[in-house]
Structure 1
Amino acid sequence: MSRQASSKRPLITLSNAKSPVSESYRSLRTSIDFSSVDERMQVIAVTSAGPGEGKSTTIGNLAITYAQSERRTLLIDADLRKPTEHHTFNLSNRWGLSSVLSQQSKLDDVIQKTDIPNLSVISSGPIPPNPAEMLASKRMSALIDELREQFDVILIDTPPLLAVTDAQVLATKCDGYVLVLDQGKVKRDIAMKAKANLEKVGARILGVVINNVKRKKSEGYYYYYYGENK
């Protein structure tokens, strides 16, 4: 069984690369690339206000579009509480980010290649008792600095903003954030609180993905990208 066929999460950029949804992911990629003229957007974190808003689906598909543009792409599952990317890409989660941060594994041993050319994944690894402390550590900063030398693009899947502080503690280690919101689930005040939480720690918000905007049934979900300060 192929990885795509057995994935629990739809990777439409693989299964239907010509669909409007896939084109929206490519537009998101382009918007991120051009979000800064003077700085290179290399390390990008993706988060949401609450759970179930589609951030992990978004980052998985976004990672594929970067890989398809022939850039060395790494997806890091930094949701050390409820990891999902190993399910998405059918990878082992016996070791991963937490293993490296706890010095139980070497970095090279946890970088897993996928069936998709140019795309590698670091899964979360075993769930640790202190996720926020791990992500805030100097070791995490050193890890990202080392990976900057190996990959063109690094995408980090973080936990929801309003549930825990994990996403916020990564603010100084990333070049920017993309916030994913479910149009039918999140209320405006909650969305604004999530945005404020990022701004409070000096995070650069590259834009917002509005998820679950329905088009025709055959096209499924559509994703829109809005620039900074929208």
Structure 2
Amino acid sequence: MALKTKNRKKNQLEQRARKLVVHASPKSHVSEQFRTVRTNINFSVPDKDLKTLLFTSSQPGEGKSTASANLAILFAQDGNRVLLVDGDMRKPTVHYTFHMTNTLGLSNVLTRQENPGEVIREAEITPNLHVMTSGPIPPNPAELLGSQTMDQFIEDMTARYDMVIFDAPPVLSVTDAQILANRVDGTIFVINTGETEKESAEKAKELLGSSKARVLGAIMNNFKLGKDHHYYHYYGEGE
């Protein structure tokens, strides 16, 4: 029994390291690509400060949660005070990625059960990075995200942090991402190349446009370059 427990913990740590590649393998090709994404994001809004950023996809399993976590680490390593918020109050994953409990989080703040300061935690893997998990799954995520309490939360957090990054649900699954995208400075759309149907990506982009989201660009996950290049495996499995 002790051996099984030890192996299970080892597998969990290995899975966590694979997702947080910029921390586990900072000199890897994938980490360099994430740094390129960070640079592109910095240059995407030259006329104003980019304070709030959202990551989403058309459907589950495309890599948006892993992308948001790795970019949050990189922005923190760049000297920014960063808050990563799990805005997916339906199928949250951020607490798994950072090996945290999820008893308190965003849902508690939006229902006014807790103050943000009571549920925000420091990420142990790098300075300047703080994390807010989703909290208990509520019966009405969309209503909470569209509330005045959410607007006040964003205003308060942008006053405390240099950047607030939201990991949002997929666009085609629920309306949550559209609601959030309307409230942030920029949205990054993650596409799993070879898996995502063109029609799904176009429909998701259309929905983001209808919500007046400012889409800064797209990340092509699992994109295979030409035969003279290495296979481009952006993050691996995950949401």
| TM-score of the two chains, using structure 1 as the length reference | 0.91
1:222 Cα offset (Å): 3.1
Question: Alignment partner for residue 132 of structure 2, among 119, 122, 130?
Answer: 122
Indicate the residue corresponding to 1:96 in structure 2: 105
**Aligned twin of 1:222:** 234
Partner of 1:227: none
Matched residue SS, 2:54: strand
Mapped to 2, the partners of 1:166 and 1:153 lie a distance apart of 20
Q: Which has the higher strand share?
A: 1
Q: Which structure 2 residues correspond to residues 176-187 of structure 1 after superposition, within 5 A?
A: 176-187=186-197
> Taking structure 1 as reference, are residues 9 and 166 closer, same or farther at Cα in structure 2, changes over 3 Å only?
farther
SS for the counterpart of 1:86 is: helix
Aligned to 2:127, the other structure's residue is in SS state: coil
Deviations 1:141-172 (A, max 9, x none): 10010000111111100000000000001123
Where does residue 228 of structure 1 map in the other structure? none
Give me the whole-angstrom Cα distance separating, in 2, the residues matched to 1:60 and 1:214.
23
The offset of 1:7, in angstroms, is 2.4
Letter of the structure 2 residue corresponding to residue 71 of structure 1 = N
- Which stretch shows the higher mean deviation, 103-112 or 124-133? 103-112
| TM-aligned CA deviation for residue 213 of structure 1 | 1.9
The answer to whether the Cα contact below 8 Å between 1:68 and 1:117 also exists between their aligned partners in 2 is: yes
Gaps in structure 1 of 5+ consecutive residues:
224-230
Return the alpha-carbon distance in structure 2 between the equivalents of residues 25 and 42 of structure 1. Answer: 19
Q: Which position in structure 1 is the counterpart of 2:22?
A: 13
Aligned to 1:134: 144
Q: Cα deviation per residue 1:114-145 (whole Å; 9 max; x = unaligned)?
A: 11211100000000000000000010010010
Counterpart residue number, 1:108:
117
Q: Which residue of 2 aligns with 1:159?
A: 169
Instruction: Please state how far the C-alpha of 1:40 moved relative to its aligned partner.
Output: 1.2
Indicate the structure (1 or 2) with the bigger Cα radius of gyration.
2
Residues in 2 aligned to 1:164 and 1:73: alpha-carbon distance in whole angstroms: 27
Aligned residues of 2:17 and 2:23 also touching (Cα < 8 A): no
Change beyond 3 A, Cα 1:23–1:6: closer
What is residue 62 of structure 2 aligned with on the other side?
A: 53
Work out the percentage of aligned pairs sharing the same amino acid. 45
Matched residue SS, 2:170: coil
Unaligned runs of 5+ residues in structure 2 are 1-8
Q: Distance in 2 between matches of 1:75 and 1:212?
A: 24
Tell me the SS of whatever aligns to 2:160. Answer: coil
CA RMSD, Structure 1 to Structure 2 (Å): 2.1
Structure 1 residue 10, shift from structure 2 partner? 1.6
Tell me whether 3-12 or 17-26 shows the greater mean CA deviation. 3-12
Tell me the residue number matched to 1:226.
none
Number of aligned positions between the proteins:
223
Which of 149, 154, 166 matches 1:144? 154
Amino acid at match of 1:31: N
List structure 1 runs of 4+ shifted beyond 3 angstroms.
1-6
Return the alpha-carbon distance in structure 2 between the equivalents of residues 24 and 155 of structure 1: 19
Distance 1:159 1:193 in 2: 15
Q: Is the 8 A contact 1:8 1:87 kept in 2?
A: no
Q: 2:40 aligns with which of 13, 21, 31?
A: 31
Cα 1:41/1:15, change in 2 over 3 Å: same
TM-score (normalised: structure 2):
0.88
CA spacing shift, 1:63–1:219, aligned 2, 3 Å: farther
Q: Tell me: CA distance 1:72–1:4, structure 2 relative to 1, closer, same or farther (3 Å).
A: farther
Distance in 2 separating the partners of 1:222 and 1:125: 28
